Amino acid sequence: MINNNLTPKKIVEELDKYIVSQDEAKKNVAISLRNRYRRKAIGDENLRREITPKNIILMGPTGVGKTEIARRLAKIANAPFLKVEATKYTEVGYVGKDVESMIKDLLAVSLMEVKDEKIEEIKDNFYNKVVEKMAKIINPLDSLNDEVKNNIMENIKSGDLDEEIIEIEKKNTNKGFGNSMIEVIAPENGDINEAVENIISNLGGNNTPKKVKMTVKDGIKYLLDEEINNSIDMDEIIPEAIKRAENDGIIFIDEIDKIAERDGLSRGEVSRQGVQRDILPIVEGTTVMTKYGAVKTDHILFIAAGAFTQSAPSDLMPELQGRFPVKIKLKSLEKSDFIKILTGVEYNLLHQYIELLKIDNVELSFSKSAIDRIAEVAIELNENVENIGARRLASVLEGVLKEIMFEAPYEKMTKIKIDKKLVDKIFKIEYEEENLDKYIL
């Protein structure tokens, strides 16, 4: 969760590492995030209860950074984050997902987050115990003396026995708990909560044991998970997860413009205004009952987004508009922005492809003119096919590097430089064949 040192300026600096342009949006979300710390620092509990988040609507075409701003904000704050699409919900009484499921899903994300943190805290305490268990599995002699046992344990720890096949008794069906993703996109059918319930129901399960073969490496992971799962007390985790969801949770509601009522369209369409009515109490502040307890939504931060090409925020219900007091219009990206996305942000696309191909002995590089041309081609395709913003860059790079990625790997390191001539050649062929459908995502 956010700390005192994370000022709005520092939050923007962090966002700048991954998101190009959109300074106004970054400034506003940074203020919203900082206000969470300010609220928690207030000593008067009654006043603290009254201070609610100032929810945000981001307006702009696809691919300009709306989702990424919310996603990165949640990572900076180490907060439970859920992305949902407004169009996936239906009015109460209709078949489909009801809006309360977004709160249940957010709690599920929070449960996974708190559980993973607990696992990180305690797993080192069990490692030696698990290695000792594995040593006895590898050499099951009852009279295993300390010297032999210690030698086997050292070989296990060093990885020398990782691929050796052993037989182990498997007591339950859960597959272990590595670091779960904090950032989750709600599935179209069902909800995350159901999946987490299935996971939690397996903690300390007593299914009939069965012997299975696996590598020592996988056996260590299984035994470690088993020890951890048996030690985790969900009665401690659940209250913390609820508290974190209530006070730190961020829900990103995409495509909110598509549930706005627009002039000239049939009012018979299922649930546009009905979904708005159902979302309203969630955003205003209500209590949602879940399997794990009541979750209050008063201090969850809601960030909504939409292109708003055929509607405006003013087409939403007045009450719902009032619950999103901060409205920010994001600008369309230009060629210079695309170049920054390719080269200036952390873990940019060029860096990703360079590192990927390095695995197959390709030393890939791009000339400045090639980078300029890739950005130009992305702009042209957005104008001529469909405007998907920065997402176009990935499809253009895939086209440029397709043959290189197909021919790799090489026996020895091979230098390949992408220049403007190659980019022009590849996309000249595409334009001549008028085969642009592949660039529609």
pLDDT tens by residue, 63-112: 899 999 999 999 998 999 999 999 888 776 565 678 999 999 999 999 99
Section 4-17 average pLDDT: 90
pLDDT of the residue at 347? 92
Helix, strand or coil, per DSSP, at residue 184: strand
Determine how β-strand 326-329 pairs with β-strand 56-59: parallel
What's the CA gap between 16 and 269, in Å, rounded?
A: 41
Average confidence (pLDDT) over 47-63: 93
Q: Which pLDDT score is estimated for 210?
A: 81
State which fold the 335-428 domain adopts.
Helicase, Ruva Protein; domain 3 (1.10.8)
Does the pLDDT at position 178 exceed 50?
A: no
For the segment 249-271, the average pLDDT, to the nearest whole number, is 75
Give the residue with greater pLDDT, 309 vs 84.
Answer: 84
- Beta strand 81-85 with 183-185 is parallel
Compute CA distances 381 → 164, 213, 398, 431, whole Å: 52, 52, 14, 10
Query: What's the pLDDT score for residue 422?
Result: 93
Nearest Cα to Cα of residue 13 among 346, 243, 316: 346
pTM of the full structure: 0.79
pLDDT in tens, 213-237: 899 999 898 898 888 888 888 888 9
When mean pLDDT is compared across 156-165, 258-267, 300-309, 350-359, the lowest value belongs to 258-267
CATH homologous superfamily of 8-105+240-329 equals P-loop containing nucleotide triphosphate hydrolases (3.40.50.300)
* 6: region left, alpha or beta (phi > 0 left; psi from -120 to 50 alpha): beta
In the chain, residues under CATH classification 1.10.8.60 are: 335-428
Q: Where are the beta strands (DSSP E) in 63-148?
A: 81-85
Residue 185 has pLDDT above 80, yes or no: no
Residue intervals in the chain for CATH 3.40.50.300:
8-105+240-329
Distance from C-alpha of 52 to C-alpha of 426, rounded to nearest angstrom: 53
Q: What is the pLDDT of residue 194?
A: 60
